[in-house]
C-alpha cells in the first residue's frame, strides 16, 4: 500500500489520493509512526516483511519463502527436503513479461503443475499447486541444498530470464542449482503442450510459458507467539506464505476459496472472519494481497480503488463491529511504488489505536503524516512490544 508521490495524482501518493475514512480514524484516535520491515541483509520479500511486523528474529528464524509456503499448504518437510517457491510466468523471446502468468486461474494452474510432474516428477522431485501462479517445488534427499542464490521474479519483469538463472552459493549446492536451471530451460515446452495452454489462448488470456523457482530453504525453527508474548493468534490471508508463517508461529489460520489474493477477493468475508476471530484470539492478523498485486502491475487507478475498497469493506466495518476497546494497528507490510512495480526498503507508515492512550497530532493515515507521529521510527519487534509488551 505504501508508495511515493506521483505526478498522475497531483504529487500525492495513492494512499493520500484515496478516500480512507476508516484508516484515517485510526490515525486520528491513535498514535502513528513508521516501521522498517525490510532491513538490509535480507530479501525484499513479503515473508521478511511480515516476519518483521510479527516480531520474529530474522537472523535465527529466516528460512526462505519455500518452507513457509510449504507450511501454508500443510506439506510437511523432512530433514532433507528443500522447498522452493515456483512462479508460473509468461516469457516471450526469452524475456519475462509477466511474473504472474496473467494471474492464471486456479484450475489452469493446477493443470500446469500436473503436466510438470508428469514430465519431471519422481520420488525426489515434486511440484505442488498453490494459489494461482504461486506454487511449490520440493526436492527430497540429502544431495539437495537450499544454498542457491535466486532472484525475485517481480524484480525482473521486462528482463531476460537467462540473466537471472539460479546459481550455487557454495560448491555443494551446484547440483541443485544445475537441476533448477534445467527445469527453467525445459519447462516451456511442457507448458506449451499442456491442453490448458490452448484453453488460455482460445479465451484470449496471457500464455503460461515459463517457471521461476526462487527463495529455497529447509524447514526452520520459530518461537511461537504464545512462547514469546503469551498470546493466541490467528492469521487471515489468501496466500500460502502468510498462512505458513502463521502456522510456524503457532497461530490458527483462516483461508477460504473466495480469498483469492487479487482484487476479486471477498473483502467482506475477510472482515467477518476477523470480527468473529476476535472473540477467541488475542491477535487477529488480517492480510490483504490485492493492493500488492495491482502495485506490481503499475496500475495507479486500480491501486487507489483497491485501497478504497479495503478501507470501506474491511477497515470501516471491522472498526464498527469491534468497538472502541479493541486495539487496532494498520500498516502495509512493505512499499511497492507503482512507478517501478518493485518492493523497496523504505519504512512503512503505521497507525495504532490503543484503548486508554492519548492520541498524537496525526489526523490522516499516509506516508508523510505518519512520519510526524509520536511513535517515531520503529524496527523489528517494536510494534508487537507496543501491543503486547516486551517479548520474553
The share of the chain scoring above pLDDT 90, in percent, equals 98
On the 0-12 / 13-18 / 19+ scale of CB atoms within 10 A, 51 is buried
Residue 391, pLDDT score: 79
The partner residues of 85 in beta bridges, in order of sequence, read: 136, 214
Report the C-alpha gap between 329 and 383 in whole angstroms: 9
17-26 confidence digits (pLDDT tens):
999 999 999 9
For residue 291, what pLDDT is reported? 97
CB 372 within 8 A of CB 30: no
- Are the C-beta atoms of 178 and 163 separated by less than 8 Å? no
pLDDT value for 61: 96
| pLDDT single digits (tens) 171-205 | 999 999 999 999 999 999 999 999 999 999 999 99
Rounded to the nearest 5°, which phi and psi values hold at 374?
A: -70, -20
* Spatial separation of the C-alpha atoms in residues 71 and 75, rounded to whole Å: 6
pLDDT digit string, tens, across residues 292-332:
999 999 999 999 999 999 999 999 999 999 999 999 999 99
> Coil, strand or helix: which one is 376?
strand
- Contact in structure between 31 and 352 (CB atoms under 8 Å): yes
Average pLDDT over every residue of 104-110: 95
For residue 12, what pLDDT band results from cuts at 50, 70 and 90? very high
CA distance 1 to 315: 14
Instruction: Delineate the domains of the chain, giving CATH numbers in brackets.
Output: 7-60+228-388 (3.40.720.10), 71-217 (no CATH)
- Residue 101 burial (10 A CB sphere; 0-12, 13-18, 19+): buried
What is the per-residue pLDDT across 150-176, written as a single tens digit (0 to 9) for each? 999 999 999 999 999 999 999 999 999
Higher per-residue pLDDT: 391 or 262: 262
Classify residue 392 as exposed, middle or buried by CB count within 10 Å of its CB (0-12, 13-18, 19+): exposed
Res 201: pLDDT: 92
Strands 233-236 and 283-286, bridge-based pairing = parallel
pLDDT in tens, 207-233: 999 999 999 999 999 999 999 999 999
Reply yes or no on whether the pLDDT at 392 is more than 90. no
Does pLDDT of 78 surpass 90? yes
Nearest to 215 by CA among 362, 391, 42, 24: 42
DSSP state of 279: T
Mean pLDDT of all residues in 29-44: 97
Which whole-number Å values give the CA distances from 342 to 302, 309, 356, in the listed order? 16, 22, 38
Instruction: List b or e across 73-86, with b for residues whose CB sees 16 or more CB atoms inside 10 angstroms.
Output: bebebeeebbbbbb
Amino acid at each position: 500500500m505504501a508508495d511515493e508521490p506521483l505526478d498522475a495524482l497531483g504529487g500525492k501518493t495513492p494512499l493520500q489520493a484515496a478516500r480512507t475514512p476508516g484508516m484515517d480514524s485510526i490515525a486520528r484516535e491513535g498514535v502513528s509512526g513508521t516501521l522498517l520491515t525490510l532491513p538490509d541483509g535480507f530479501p525484499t520479500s513479503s515473508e521478511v516483511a511480515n516476519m518483521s511486523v510479527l516480531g520474529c528474529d530474522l537472523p535465527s528464524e529466516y528460512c526462505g519463502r519455500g518452507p513457509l509456503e510449504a507450511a501454508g499448504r500443510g506439506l510437511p518437510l523432512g530433514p532433507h527436503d528443500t522447498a522452493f517457491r515456483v512462479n508460473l510466468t509468461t516469457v516471450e523471446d526469452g524475456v519475462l513479461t509477466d511474473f504472474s502468468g496473467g494471474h492464471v486461474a486456479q484450475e489452469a494452474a493446477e493443470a500446469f503443475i500436473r503436466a510438470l510432474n508428469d514430465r519431471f516428477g519422481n520420488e525426489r522431485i515434486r511440484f505442488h499447486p498453490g494459489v494461482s501462479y504461486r506454487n511449490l517445488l520440493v526436492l527430497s534427499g540429502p544431495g539437495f541444498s537450499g544454498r542457491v542464490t535466486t532472484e525475485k521474479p517481480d524484480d525482473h519483469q521486462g528482463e531476460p530470464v537467462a540473466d537471472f538463472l539460479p546459481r550455487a552459493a557454495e560448491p555443494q549446492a551446484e547440483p541443485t542449482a544445475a537441476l533448477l536451471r534445467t527445469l527453467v530451460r525445459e519447462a516451456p515446452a511442457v507448458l506449451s503442450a499442456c491442453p490448458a495452454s490452448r484453453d488460455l489462448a482460445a479465451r484470449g488470456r496471457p500464455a503460461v510459458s515459463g517457471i521461476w523457482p526462487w527463495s529455497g530453504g529447509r524447514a526452520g525453527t520459530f518461537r511461537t507467539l504464545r512462547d514469546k508474548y503469551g498470546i493466541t493468534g490467528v492469521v487471515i490471508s489468501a496466500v500460502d506464505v502468510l498462512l505458513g508463517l502463521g502456522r510456524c508461529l503457532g497461530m490458527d489460520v483462516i483461508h477460504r476459496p473466495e480469498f483469492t489474493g487479487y482484487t476479486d477477493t471477498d473483502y467482506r468475508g475477510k472482515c467477518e472472519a476477523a470480527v468473529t476471530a476476535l472473540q477467541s484470539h488475542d491477535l487477529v492478523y488480517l492480510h490483504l494481497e490485492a493492493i500488492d498485486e495491482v502495485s506490481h502491475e503499475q496500475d495507479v487507478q486500480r491501486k487507489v480503488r483497491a485501497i478504497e475498497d479495503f478501507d470501506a469493506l474491511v477497515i470501516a466495518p471491522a472498526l464498527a463491529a469491534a468497538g472502541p476497546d479493541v486495539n487496532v494497528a494498520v500498516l502495509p507490510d512493505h512499499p511497492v511504488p507503482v512507478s517501478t512495480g518493485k518492493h523497496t526498503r523504505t519504512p512503512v507508515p503505521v497507525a495504532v489505536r490503543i484503548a486508554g492512550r492519548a492520541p498524537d497530532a496525526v489526523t490522516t493515515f499516509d506516508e508523510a503524516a505518519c512520519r510526524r507521529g509520536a511513535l517515531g521510527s520503529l524496527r523489528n519487534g517494536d510494534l508487537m512490544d507496543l501491543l503486547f509488551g516486551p517479548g520474553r
